[in-house]
Amino acid sequence: MRSNNTQIATIRLNLLDLNKSANEPQFKSLISDGWTVISSLAVQEEERPTLILLLAPPKEEIRVKVEKEIKIKLIIMIIIQILIAIVLIKGGLYA
């Protein structure tokens, strides 16, 4: 299960049949795409030992998202500065 808001994927592996669980397409796909296990927790689910893995996306994907957010914030700051300059200039002309 992938969470769109936090960019974290959760995978459950059955520890009684680890080979089968580790070969599931969803898990193999995330690992081959460069996702990294950031945390693990062994639990008992439905009378079987289960390993819950939290995976983070590849660092490149995170970097691109951060760069995009920074660019958007810079554009907003520039627009605000232009608006402030216009207000100051107009205020200065009519003062």
Domain boundaries, the chain: 1-57, 59-95
| Separation of alpha carbons 51 and 42, rounded Å | 4
CA distance 63 to 14: 33
Average pLDDT in the chain: 82
* High-pLDDT (> 90) share of the chain, %: 23
Higher-pLDDT residue of 81 and 94 is 81
Answering whether pTM is above 0.75, one says no
Average pLDDT over residues 66-95: 77
94: Cα separation from own chain's centroid: 50
The reported pLDDT for the residue numbered 91 is 73
Predicted local confidence at residue 88, as pLDDT: 73
Tell me what pLDDT residue 10 has: 94
